[in-house]
Amino acid sequence: MPQIKCNDLSLGYGSREILSGLSFEVGAGDYLCIVGENGSGKTTLMKTLLGLQKPLSGTIEFSDGVTAKEIGYLPQQTDVQRDFPASVREIVLSGCLGRMGMRPFYNSDDKALAEKNMERMNITKLQKRCYRELSGGQQQRVLLARALCATRKILLLDEPVAGLDPKVTAEMYELIAGLNREDGVTVIMISHDIDKALRYASHILHIGGECFFGTRDEYRRVRKEKEAENDG
């Protein structure tokens, strides 16, 4: 049973349409990679899935006990965050806010959840440190721990390895794959890197130009056929 089902989506801003006729579905435990050229609408698609902007037409259905609010989101870093005075603990805890309703302060459950996710991301030792002084990889772990506080089911990651060096990139991919494999978290990731996407993902959504949606193996086959055509 799919957690998210998109039917004939058109995306864009105002009267400008970036993408149209997009249909795909994401099931529990899937690892979906969204690949495509810069400017093909990857980030727009992500914002639409998160409910930050409305699709021009088409529908997004959530089912299997998932609502739009239960998606953990790992955004690209913003300028504000680079000089923000905040401790790791403060940031991870803020992931709990979505489920607090009208309650103004964190309770012991929230704190326990934050502790657990900091441990999961191996950043417990950093919890008193200032976010802006951490390395890029450590910062991503902090934001991932925060996203995990907001969800147990679905993670949306927007270019999670942008700007990281190769070793840290590999660690990051393993960490995300571990969450998908061991904790059964559904992963939706935007990525530049098609090779890495093919290695970890179970499904691929290619947008821009010719759209493709299917399993990794289907994508490989289609790619091979295309290459063969080009060679021939």
Partner 1 sequence: MADIFNTLAFYLQKPFVVNAVIVGVLIALCSSLLGVTLVLKRYSFIGDGLSHVAFGAMAVAAVVGFTDDMPLVLAVTVISAVLLLRMGKNAKIKGDAAIAMISVGSLAVGYLLMNLFSTSSNISGDVCSTLFGSTSILTLSPFDVWMCVILSIVVVLFFVLFYNRIFSVTFDESFAQATGQRANVYNLLIAIVIAVIIVVSMQLVGSLLISALVIFPALSAMRVFKSFRSVTICSAIVSVVCALTGLLTSILAGTPVGSTIVAADIVVFIIFSIIGKITGGKE
- CB of residue 224 vs partner 1: minimum separation in angstroms? 37
CB atoms within 10 A of CB 125: 9
Binding positions for partner 1, rule: CB under 8 A: 47, 50-52, 68-69, 71-73, 75, 78, 80-81, 83-87, 90-91, 93-95, 97-98, 104-106, 128-130, 133, 146-147, 150, 156
The span from the CA of 131 to the CA of 138, in Å, is 9
**109 or 217: CB nearest partner 1:** 109
**50 or 162: CB nearest partner 1:** 50
* Bridge partners for 73 per DSSP: 156
**24 or 73: CB nearest partner 1:** 73
- CB of residue 222 vs partner 1: minimum separation in angstroms? 32
**147 or 204: CB nearest partner 1:** 147
The span from the CA of 123 to the CA of 139, in Å, is 10
CB atoms within 10 A of CB 90: 16
- CB of residue 170 vs partner 1: minimum separation in angstroms? 25
Backbone φ and ψ of 91, nearest 5°? -70, -45
Query: Residue holding tokens 């403060």?
Result: 90
* Bridge partners for 158 per DSSP: 190
Q: Structure tokens of 162?
A: 């942008």
**143 or 204: CB nearest partner 1:** 143
**24 or 131: CB nearest partner 1:** 131
Helix residue ranges, H only, 185-215: 194-200
The span from the CA of 61 to the CA of 65, in Å, is 11
- CB of residue 96 vs partner 1: minimum separation in angstroms? 9
- CB of residue 125 vs partner 1: minimum separation in angstroms? 16
- CB of residue 90 vs partner 1: minimum separation in angstroms? 5
Q: Are strands 2-13 and 31-36 parallel, antiparallel or unpaired?
A: unpaired
